[in-house]
Amino acid sequence: MVFTVHLYLMLIPVFIQVVRGCPNGWTEYGDSCYMAFFDTQDWSAASTTCHEKNSYLAEVGDEQENGFLTRLVSTHQSHESYWLGGNDIFVEGDWRWEESHLVMNYTNWRHGQPDNHHNHNDDCLQAQFTGYTFMWSDVPCTANRNYICEASRGNWIQLG
């Protein structure tokens, strides 16, 4: 009986979390939870931090999701840049999402981007919040940026 009560008490927060959706601080959109982080890091460190939180750098599938991310960060800061999960690290010009490994079918590149500026290995995707939308550009992965993590539905209860 005592074991049953303890097990029941341990499962209540998990059940509540599943029913409620995203954990505190994360915002739900579609089948994912998102959180913007403002401790600037290089792309690799930001990706690692997301993975430590059972998530990954955000992957943007369409214009509506890009608009959602714009609204997500608009309440925090303006004219800031954020890492997203895209890169062309392995093959120049072959932009893929890090987590899914899929080719980026939707993009919102700034005019003239991506440009691999003067062959400086601009291999990572940043989205700059302009006050109205996210415009994308390729920049060196060693630059420090804010970042946005995304967690799929199956990882919601594990977010930290």
**Does residue 79 form part of some domain?**
yes
**Mean pLDDT, to the nearest integer, of 88-102?**
95
List the CATH number of the domain containing 111: 3.10.100.10
**Does residue 66 form part of some domain?**
yes
> What's the confidence (pLDDT) of residue 131?
73
**Mean pLDDT, to the nearest integer, of 68-95?**
90
**Mean pLDDT, to the nearest integer, of 101-113?**
96
**What is the rounded average pLDDT for all residues in the chain?**
86
**Does residue 147 form part of some domain?**
yes
Q: What six digits make up the tokens of 21?
A: 């959706």
Does the pLDDT value for residue 51 go beyond 80?
yes
Taking the C-alpha atoms of residue 142 and residue 123, their distance in angstroms, rounded to an integer, is 10
Taking the C-alpha atoms of residue 27 and residue 75, their distance in angstroms, rounded to an integer, is 13
Does the pLDDT value for residue 21 go beyond 80?
yes
Residue-number span of the structural domain to which 146 is assigned: 26-155
